[in-house]
Chains A and B, each alone.
Chain A
Amino acid sequence: MPTRIRESRGQEMALTAAVAVVIVLLSLLPMLRLIEEIVAPGGTLSTVAAEAGLRSPTTWIATWHTLVVGIGGTLLAVLSGTLVAVLVSLTDIRGRSALVLCYVLPLMTAPQVTALAWLQLFGPASPFLKLFGAAPPLGTKNPLYSTSGIILLLGVQYGPLVFLLVRAGLRKLPRELVEAARAGGAGWFTVLVTIVLPLMTPSIMAAAALAFVSCIGNFGIPAFLGIPANYLVLPTLIYQKLAGGGPAVLGETAFLSVLIGVIAMAGILAQEMMSRRRDYRISSTSLPAEPYELGRWRPVVQAGMWLLIVLVLFLPLFGLVLTSLVPGYGIALTAKTVTLDNYRFVLFEHDAANRAFFNSFWLSIAAAFFAVVVAVPVGYLIAWGKQRWVRLLNLAVELPYALPGVVLAIASLLLFLRPIPLTGIQLYNTVWIILYAYLARFLVLALRPTISGYHQIDRALEEAAQVAGAGLFTRMRTIIFPLVAPGAIAGGLLIFMTALSELTVSALLWSSGSETIGVVMFSFEQGGDSNYAAAMSVITVAVTFLLMLVTNLLAPYLPSGVLPWRD
């Protein structure tokens, strides 16, 4: 008769249960609530919401617009990102790390900041154009208030995203494949077209899918560029409906947000299918190929690259700074007009702006801190767990980030519109609903680097602590956390930077008293106070850059690829 041995698995069970609860609360619950609202609003099966949505012509116009800017932005991002990745990775271009850093920076600034910066560059009030007296007369339409303007900025914003993925793929390209083609008589361009790009198809496809999902979910750029031109995409349509109708139109917006989700999923599925058509697997691993010598073309290519950087990074930021320094709309910047009043106003005088800085800072810190604390045990279960079902956890955590932010925002609204059952706690119309959405949406940003940290650690380090008598919680605290901390903390800093000037989620969830930086910036811009919006943008960009420098200090302890701007 086997005797039952008393097992001490209590801590393992507690950990698994706690992780499961967190994932259910943050990932599964909002998604299920959203689906329920579409299928069975109010508890009974009904297609009313869906039918109403399908009948409305604005739905179809916005869907069409979403597809146009989504596909256009994706194409531009893929073309520019791949071109830059090929030039940076495969040629002997100089100053590579500086180029990578500068090219990736737009990804680290919020979309609405990018939009604002570019608007300040070209409009009739542009202090930059006024420096040369080249500004169009007041009353002229800003050329960016257009479909092509939105596509251009989406391409600028997400080109770096494509660049990062394609560059990672190019780094894994074994040099033998290139050298074999060269030995077979192919010139560099032939090698690029017949060998390198075909082999990079999976990377480029994955990058395109990611860029597509980001483009169609983007709120900041179509909000700043499209709303003034009455060019609505699905996220801005949802925003306008909610801003006008409040909770009454929630069912309708739920339908629209699911529509975005479906379009996003279709993009991901299309990528899956394209990647499966041929075998792109690279079997060997070896050193990357020798860089191609550009020879006398090198100065030209380098100049071209830096020109691109100046165009997509320095000029817009310069325009932003100039606007933040002039006292009002349309005033030219001279030694007499230059002023710091805008900064004083947003930092010390304007109540909502003050609250926004306070709210955004603590929301970002709380989200980052929570994510770091949660990512370590969740990563432990995903990376080292024995149970198969745990792998589904990873998927569940990815979902709220993979889907456009609007989807999660609407789901959070639905979930917390009424007080939480049994407790009576009301999150709707408070800052806490924004915190909830941030936690759900950004957790994965800390989880990914943490998991790659786990994969680099020898499991024997934990086992050694186990045989030394340390229980799970002790091991977590004394062995595991110190070892994965660099990755988790870097993830936390990424979350902080992303959440600080976040707009998509908070635009739908904010209420008076719980404004965020993004929301106040948006309302300044909508009210015509671009100077205040610019001043706020400059502050957040400065904070982001400062944090990037701080995060760089962690770099030696991090798995490669955790910090996107590090080459």
Chain B
Amino acid sequence: MARLSLDHVTKSFADFDAVKNVSIDVADGEFLAVLGPSGCGKTTLLRLVAGFEKVTSGEIRIGNNVVSNSGGSVAPEKRRVGIVFQNYALWPHMTVAENIGYSLRVAKLDKAVARQKVEDALALVNLQGLGERRPANLSGGQRQRVALARCLVAAPSLVLFDEPLANLDVHLRASIEDEFAAFHKRTGTTMIYITHDQSEAIALADRIAVMDHGRLAQLATPRELYHEPANEMVASFISQGMLLPADVLTAEDGGHCKVRVLGTELVVRCRPGERPRAGAKICCRSADLGVSPDGPGLNGLIKRVVYKGGGARIEFAPVAGPDLTLHFEQPDPVRLESGAQARLRIQSGWLIPAAAAEQSLGA
């Protein structure tokens, strides 16, 4: 177990920056998820940490050792990291036990000790008695667990997961997710978990690093990401947040300020030190919206009603901003119909910090 630090890490391929100036500190024993849409650089980040790619600039440290900087790179086989690959990468020509015991064999461990460790690892992932099977004769979930046991048997300093659930069917995902969480609790290993699935990241991670176009968009706890996104990308990426143009009318007071959105005034949460400014954005969640037939609110048109079972997802275009689409959930009985006029109230929201503030945070 060790902490992992990335310090201003950049990785360029030819003229394309896959990872740009990313700094992350992962505490000893922390579970960090790296989340982002495909092509955001998260897999490159994992390969940099593992040592399959070399940094263009910046520095990576595992524990107290520098493993990568522009001066060179420690080979992957010397880094003592474990990886659970997306497609498991179990060696088809070896049995389950041989797969798990491979790193011990490479380290020339005493055979009896190695056998005991393999047994323990099998027990840890509930695969006792399957040691002599071939990977081809295992189910997807079992293969996943073999891969986990294989990377843990050598007691790595940190474990990297590369979209480990992407190839599993939905109900299996939930149970393996639980296993990962329990596992992290039991072993206390530092874990880096790459995924594009935010529900996975939110359920498992202590903190989440959201990546966008090679940059670190925000590094925060799941709760903070949801409630206080640092920029527009995170706001819209996490749980489909809605972005609305706003003018800040008052300075911050007690974590709130007054803004004007689409011609109506409302109070939103904000960072300390916010001052009045124009051209700001607020982020709303569907839970922040509600129909308000009588009180103040936004007039507009119901564009679409999609029944979801027990309720409906309503899409709404305000008159003041016909190009915007607001969406919210309405529990049964749903009375709104597409094409109807309605009035909507925004109960709350989060003022996205100004870009300059984000810069100082991100760097």
Are A and B interaction partners? yes
A8 contact from B78, B89, B154, Cβ within 8 A: B78
Give A474 to B78 CA distance when docked, in angstroms.
Answer: 14
In the docked arrangement, what's the CA distance between A467 and B81, Å?
A: 6
Per-residue CB contact flags for chain B residues 25-64 toward chain A (1 = under 8 Å, else 0) read: 0000000000000000000000000101000000100000
How many residues in A have their beta carbons less than 8 Å from beta carbons of B? 25
Contact B77 A5 (CB under 8 A): no
- Residues of B81-129 contacting chain A, CB below 8 A: 81-83, 85-87, 89-93, 102-103, 105-107
* In the assembled complex, A482 has its CB within 8 A of some CB on chain B: yes
Query: Which residues of B are found within 8 Å of A2, using beta-carbon distances?
Result: 59, 69-71
**When the two chains form their complex, are residues A7 and B75 in contact, meaning their CB atoms are under 8 A apart?**
yes
A310 at the interface (CB under 8 A from B): no
A546 at interface (Cβ–Cβ under 8 A)?
no
User: Quick check: A464 and B72 within 8 Å, CB to CB?
Assistant: no
- At the interface with chain B, which of A279-287, A437-445, A455-463? A455-463
Q: Which residues of A contact B85 (CB under 8 A)?
A: 460, 463-464
Known: A4-B71, A5-B74, A7-B74. A467 touches B66 (CB 8 A): no
B140: CB under 8 A from chain A?
A: no
Interchain CA distance A465-B156 in the complex, whole Å = 14
Contact A474 B106 (CB under 8 A): yes
- The residue on B at minimum CB distance from A3 is B71
The count of chain B contact residues (Cβ–Cβ below 8 Å) is 38
The B-contacting residues of A in range 454-498, CB under 8 angstroms, are 458, 460-461, 463-471, 474, 478-479, 482-483
- In the complex, what residue of chain B is closest to A7 when comparing beta carbons? B72
The answer to whether the Cβ of A9 comes within 8 Å of any Cβ in the partner chain is: yes
The answer to whether A467 and B83 have CB atoms under 8 Å apart is yes
> A6, A7, A467: which contacts B79 (Cβ < 8 A)?
A467
The reply to whether A463 and B102 contact each other, CB–CB distance below 8 Å, is no
List B contacts of A469 (CB < 8 A): 77-78, 80, 103, 106-107, 154
Q: Is B221 on the interface with A (CB-CB < 8 A)?
A: no
Known: A3-B69, A6-B72, A467-B77. A461 touches B89 (CB 8 A): yes
Contact A4 B87 (CB under 8 A): no
Say yes or no: A467-B75 contact (C-beta < 8 A), given A5-B66, A461-B91, A474-B106. Answer: no
Residues in chain B near residue A483, CB distance under 8 A: 91-93
Question: Which residues of the other chain, A, contact B75 by a CB distance below 8 angstroms?
Answer: 7-9, 466, 471
Given contacts A2-B69, A6-B72, A461-B91, contact A467 B102 (CB under 8 A): no
Contact B89 A463 (CB under 8 A): yes
Which of B72, B83, B150, B156 contacts A5 (CB under 8 A)?
B72
Which residues of chain A come closer than 8 Å to B81, judged between CB atoms? 467
Question: Could you tell me if B52 and A463 are in contact, using CB atoms closer than 8 angstroms?
Answer: yes
A108 to B79, CA, bound (A): 50
Which residue from chain B places its CB closest to the CB of A474 in the assembled complex?
A: B106
Any A CB within 8 A of the CB of B73: yes
B231: CB under 8 A from chain A?
Answer: no
Write the nearest CB–CB distance from B162 to chain A, whole angstroms: 8
Distance of B325 from chain A, by nearest CB (Å): 37
Kindly state whether residue B261 has any CB partner on chain A within 8 Å.
Answer: no
Known: A2-B70, A3-B71, A5-B66. A464 touches B76 (CB 8 A): no
Which residues between 1 and 50 of chain A lie within 8 Å of chain B, taking CB atoms? Answer: 2-9
CB neighbours of A474 from chain B (8 A):
106
Residue B151 lies at the interface, judged by CB distance under 8 Å to chain A: yes
How many A-B pairs have beta carbons closer than 8 Å: the answer is: 94
- Smallest CB-CB separation from A483: which chain B residue? B93
Q: A468 vs B83: C-alpha distance in the bound complex, in angstroms? A: 9
B144 within 8 A of A: no
Interface string of A368-408 (1 = CB under 8 A from B): 00000000000000000000000000000000000000000
A483 to B94, CA, bound (A): 10
Do A479 and B91 touch across chains, with their CB atoms under 8 A apart? yes
* Binary CB contact string for chain A from 496 to 508 against chain B (1 if under 8 A, 0 otherwise): 0000000000000
Chain B residues with Cβ below 8 Å from A3 are: 66, 69, 71
Q: Report if B248 contacts A (CB, 8 A).
A: no
B102: chain A residues within 8 A (beta carbon): 465, 468, 470, 478
A7 to B71, CA, bound (A): 10
Chain B residues within an 8 Å CB radius of A461: 89, 91
Q: What's the minimum C-beta distance from B193 to chain A, rounded to whole angstroms?
A: 16
- List the A side residues contacting B92 at CB < 8 Å: 483
CB <8 Å contact, A466 and B77: yes
Which residues of A are found within 8 Å of B74, using beta-carbon distances?
5-8
Query: Which of B82, B87, B105 is the one whose CB lies under 8 Å from A467?
Result: B82
Q: Across the interface, which residues of A come within 8 angstroms of B69, CB to CB? A: 2-3, 5
How far is A461 from B50 in the complex, measured between Cα atoms in Å?
A: 14
Known: A467-B81, A468-B102. A5 touches B50 (CB 8 A): no
Q: Nearest Cβ in chain B — how far from A553, in angstroms?
A: 17
* Contact A467 B151, beta carbon cutoff 8 Å: yes
Let me know if B91 and A467 touch, CB within 8 A. Answer: no
> In the complex, what's the smallest C-beta–C-beta distance from A389 to chain B, in angstroms?
16
CB < 8 Å: which of B76, B80, B105 contacts A463?
A: B76
| A467:B68 contact, CB within 8 angstroms | no
* A61, B77: Cα distance in complex, Å: 63
B67 at the interface (CB under 8 A from A): yes
Known pairs A460-B87, A461-B89, A482-B93; A467 contacts B50 (CB<8 A):
yes
- In the bound complex, CA of A468 to CA of B79 (Å): 9
What is the bound-complex CA distance between A97 and B156, given in angstroms?
52
Q: A2-B69, A3-B69, A5-B72 are in contact. Are A464 and B77 (CB under 8 A)?
A: no
Q: Which 5 A-B pairs have the closest CB atoms?
A: A468-B103, A5-B72, A460-B89, A2-B71, A464-B89
16 contacts between A and B (CB under 8 A): A2-B69, A2-B71, A5-B66, A5-B72, A5-B74, A463-B76, A463-B85, A463-B89, A464-B90, A464-B150, A467-B76, A469-B77, A474-B106, A478-B102, A479-B91, A483-B92
B residues with a Cβ closer than 8 A to A are: 50, 52, 59, 66-83, 85-87, 89-93, 102-103, 105-107, 150-151, 154, 156
19 further contact pairs, Cβ within 8 A, besides A5-B66, A8-B75, A467-B50: A2-B69, A2-B71, A5-B73, A6-B72, A7-B75, A8-B77, A8-B78, A460-B87, A463-B76, A463-B85, A464-B85, A464-B150, A466-B75, A467-B77, A467-B79, A469-B77, A469-B106, A470-B77, A482-B91
- Interface residues in chain A, defined as those with a beta carbon under 8 Å from any beta carbon in chain B: 2-9, 458, 460-461, 463-471, 474, 478-479, 482-483
